Chain A
């Protein structure tokens, strides 16, 4: 079939290269070292794409190990295969091996699937696969190579034994190992390039593995010890029970809230997330009902919690202080980032043991979870620092952050006069000390989540998730900081400055508030424990209030603070602020945490159900409930700030819609993580991006259809965009890149008939993206190149062909991506960022929504069908019948002519209005472009 297509497009040129030798019985087989096919030179041991039987699917990747010509002149190649992680996911999963997205596994060993002989024409194109093995024999790839690489590999998959091999033996399959590694000449100019991201990532992968083992061996003991220590500490810090209390109260409120939340959830969910929501619903409801049943148990556990929580709080605080030294070491090395993850893993195991053993362990487990929290907290710190290159002193970590916070707050103050000055000052003074508490508080949620995870099961997938999350946590805070700074820059601008300042406030505080609002609410609820209804309403109101704040800016903030203070006076506020100020990172971290929590709850729910241990049930349930509740609540509150930023000026209804949808999306993302988890592996960078993206997606889903509001959305986005735009590295902002040609993947993907079919399918699957404002003269191939260069995604693009009524200056293209996820990511990036093509046009992208694709063309107005009238009789009818059989220029003495003239008139009118519209559009457009170009020219 490949050859058939090729013939269509003209036979590709072909010529043999260097000869190698002859073989076969009669020496009729001629081997070659290279050949040129379709303008591309291939040599032995090159990696190539081979056509997949399923054209939709990605092409296979293989290494040329033999090239020959048979006696009958047929050209053959023997390829040793590379496996995509997805292709061997079964074994990956079994062996709990994780792989990054662009990692391949070279086939090795002996058996079916190692290599195949194929017709040479099956080659689709050259594939750039880089070996990133740390093996001494492997010439290390250069940074550029890594950047350009389609895929990397360093492990092989033994097809005989179905196992992953981390090391290359002297012979991989039938191939000598020197042909497996990068070619010598490529490697010469390379040294150890630590700066390269890919490298980092991969080194992490490999390093992570080695270290995992060690840590798994060591950590448990440490943890146990620390638990004991913590127990002691806990008494000291018991005073902080207020803070601990909020957690408790949260739990209580959340019971009511969870239900209302559910109500919210259903109607708002997009169709895609609907099933997930249902699932979630089911789980939440079930947990709720459980809770109701075990009301007394609940009360009992509450008390237990009362004691445990303050303790844990204290522990958390203490731990924080203790940890930095450890962190110091860790932060010094990148690879160490993985350590905390491993720690948590090991801890989880402990958790499991404890949980299952007896009830008393419940307490312990909470301690452990606190442990985890603290660990997580510090980890955030380190990562953040790491990113900022401020690594110098670990102990300053906490201090530093508050100070930054302070700056932001001050800037806010400037614009805000001073009503709240005292509050802020309080914040600043207290921030240092309280930050710890808050950090712990924030992380506690995670901790619990993790504990639950551990309970439910210890599948490797989850570990992966943790690592992702931790990565995400690390990522976000640092960027957040940057954002704040940039916000400051904006302040001195125009009227916007105020808004921005507020934004910065909300950026900074948003999460804080969110976090804090929960706290405040929690407290309020404590006070009103008995009155469930009130609580619910309060809770519902507050988040909303929070949402509105950014909209209404400073004033609202104040009013919000009033809100909060209503609940519990400014004490809360202060604490809240402190929480926030101390833990910028935490706030954001929390965003990431949500995922964990949710997973945890879900996992746990099911786990608990299965468990059915009568004794543990009540407690477990309550715990679980707590967590479940904490989950949604947190999500609610925490996400809103993010949302706020995104949507600042969106209508309140939108805002209301937001969270649930987000949640579902989040869930979605989790699920996908679940499934993809294996592939993502411990490579920190990738998962980060993923989570970020997922979060982005959530936001997007919340944003919904109000594209007109884009305007407003983008500004507030600034913060979140930077932190989340996976495609846009900070480095590349403002720089101009060339669009390079994408490696040719075969021409047959482009035949027009197939496209419509594919488009409909893609549309249904959500992978169809409509790009607008392209140069109308772009060709489909150029659009594909652009997408490839910018997003490093392969796609099938089709420029929307111009017609008489299409805009003459704004080109559009339909692009089919490989998955809905990618499509959403691209669209998100285009919405948040600004991609300028050829220094002129910012590209607009949206998921194509082509409802009319369904069904056939319905009607064509203006042709009178002959059946409508009985045609046998009149002259007119006869005319009509004749007309049907032939096409003609109508004569001026017929009825048809008159009618036709009317149509001509309409066509003229239509011409006229289209011209007018396009002219107006062009004017508007050019007016804007004029401003734009000036700047761009200056830039260039």
Chain B
């Protein structure tokens, strides 16, 4: 028992050193993430959180274990401070402190004893329990809805930004074209504007 308590303490320490990151592109691999963060901190371990039950279009999330506690908090601060983009632009990643529940392989909480019982149908609690079960389902549905909503929002934003970018691009194209085919020069001559740096 003592051993497992120790083990759990070690695990908790590990949790504190770990940063949860999401909004990661699916192309991000462990190496990419390590390389991206190496400019700030020493990454010990990267673990992606598998997405079993949510829509696949949900961005990936990862647990990044740092060498020290300070590094972990530093990276969180850094990422919150300015948009940090990994393997793509402009969507930045997001970081926050990791929590115990995020870990896949975690030791059992020491000293916990789990019990179970089947509620009798006549038990007044049965009704309550039933309501809770319904509520759980309802919440799950709501969560799913919100998640879809979020994905939608993200898509909208992405599309909107793409539009903006395209507009920018067009603008630059135009200017480029005007400069390269001498139209600009002709126009300058016509209006007698010196084109000093053309």
Contact = CB atoms under 8 A, between A and B. Distances in A.
Contact of B130 (A710, A848, A858): A710
Interface string B127-148: 0111111111111111100110
B55 A739 contact: no
Interface in A830-879: 833-839, 841-842, 844, 848, 850, 852, 855-865, 868-869, 873-877
A864 B165 contact: yes
B101 A811 contact: yes
B124 to A, nearest CB: 6
B93 to A, nearest CB: 9
A829 to B, nearest CB: 9
A928 interface: yes
B50 A864 contact: no
B191 interface: no
B10 interface: no
A805 B145 CA distance: 12
B158 A862 contact: yes
Given A805-B147, A852-B56, A708 B134 contact: yes
B106 interface: yes
Nearest to A887: B36
Given A862-B90, A887-B36, A899-B89, A738 B104 contact: no
Contact of A801 (B49, B138, B150): B49
B77 to A, nearest CB: 12
Contacts of A755: 50
B143 A917 contact: yes
A864 B90 contact: yes
B24 to A, nearest CB: 9
A383 B168 CA distance: 84
Interface stretch (A90-98, A330-338, A903-911): A903-911
A122 interface: no
B52 A910 contact: no
B53 A781 contact: no
A887 B121 contact: no
A737 B131 CA distance: 23
Max chain A Cβ within 10 angstroms of own Cβ: one of B52, B139, B158: B52
Max chain A Cβ within 10 angstroms of own Cβ: one of B27, B36, B87: B87
Contact of A812 (B53, B88, B126, B142): B53
Contacts of B126: 834
B190 interface: no
Interface string A749-781: 000100110010000000000101100111111
A292 interface: no
Given A790-B116, A924-B135, A801 B89 contact: no
B192 interface: no
B143 A781 contact: no
A708 B90 contact: no
B131 to A, nearest CB: 6
A782 B57 contact: no
Contacts of B78: 889
A698 B61 CA distance: 40
Given A708-B134, A932-B132, A910 B114 contact: no
Interface in B137-189: 137-143, 146-147, 150-151, 153-155, 157-159, 161-162, 164-166, 168-169, 172-173, 176
Interface stretch (A201-209, A583-591, A726-734): A726-734
Interface size on B, as a range, is 35 or more
Contacts of A883: 85, 88-89
A273 B24 CA distance: 42
B84 A888 contact: yes
A910 B101 contact: no
Interface stretch (A300-308, A312-320, A890-898): A890-898
Contact of B108 (A782, A921, A932, A935): A782
A858 B136 CA distance: 29
Contact of B104 (A737, A801, A805): A801
B99 interface: yes
A492 interface: no
Contacts of B59: 860
B13 interface: no
Contact of B102 (A707, A736, A802, A931): A802
Interface stretch (A16-24, A372-380, A536-544, A714-722): A714-722
A939 B128 CA distance: 14
A839 B132 contact: no
B53 A928 contact: no
Interface in A912-932: 913-914, 917, 921, 924-925, 928-929, 931-932
Given A862-B154, A932-B128, A842 B133 contact: yes
A489 B122 contact: yes
Contacts of B196: none
Nearest to B146: A917
Max chain A Cβ within 10 angstroms of own Cβ: one of B61, B102, B113, B136: B136
B162 A906 contact: no
A383 to B, nearest CB: 23
A890 B52 contact: no
A807 B140 CA distance: 9
B162 A890 contact: no
A857 B26 contact: yes
A733 B120 contact: yes
A814 interface: yes
A889 B101 contact: no
B106 to A, nearest CB: 6
B172 A875 contact: yes
B125 interface: yes
A711 B86 CA distance: 47
A734 B116 CA distance: 10
Contacts of B134: 708, 710-711
B197 interface: no
Given A807-B139, A875-B172, A718 B132 contact: no
Contacts of B165: 864, 869, 876, 895, 899
A901 interface: yes
Interface in A691-723: 707-708, 710-711, 714-715, 718, 721-722
Nearest to A880: B89
Given A779-B108, A883-B85, A869 B137 contact: no
Given A734-B123, A889-B83, A810 B115 contact: no
B117 A736 contact: yes
A718 B134 CA distance: 16
Given A772-B140, A776-B101, A804-B22, A737 B116 contact: yes
B3 to A, nearest CB: 11
Contacts of A875: 172
B120 A887 contact: no
B5 interface: no
Given A804-B94, A903-B91, A939-B125, A738 B131 contact: no
A666 interface: no
A891 to B, nearest CB: 8
B78 to A, nearest CB: 7
B74 interface: no
A339 B155 CA distance: 70
A160 interface: no
Max chain A Cβ within 10 angstroms of own Cβ: one of B113, B133, B140: B133
Contact of B116 (A789, A808, A884): A789
Contact of B22 (A803, A852, A856): A803
A900 interface: yes
9 contacts: A780-B104, A801-B102, A804-B94, A855-B56, A864-B165, A869-B165, A874-B173, A890-B85, A897-B90
Interface of B: 20, 22-23, 25-27, 32, 35-36, 49-50, 52-57, 59-61, 78, 81-92, 94, 96, 99-109, 113-126, 128-143, 146-147, 150-151, 153-155, 157-159, 161-162, 164-166, 168-169, 172-173, 176
Given A777-B109, A865-B88, A869-B165, 7 more contacts: A710-B134, A773-B132, A810-B140, A835-B116, A897-B83, A904-B83, A913-B146
- List 8 A-B pairs, minimum CB-CB distance, nearest first: A862-B91, A863-B88, A900-B83, A887-B36, A899-B90, A802-B101, A861-B158, A834-B119
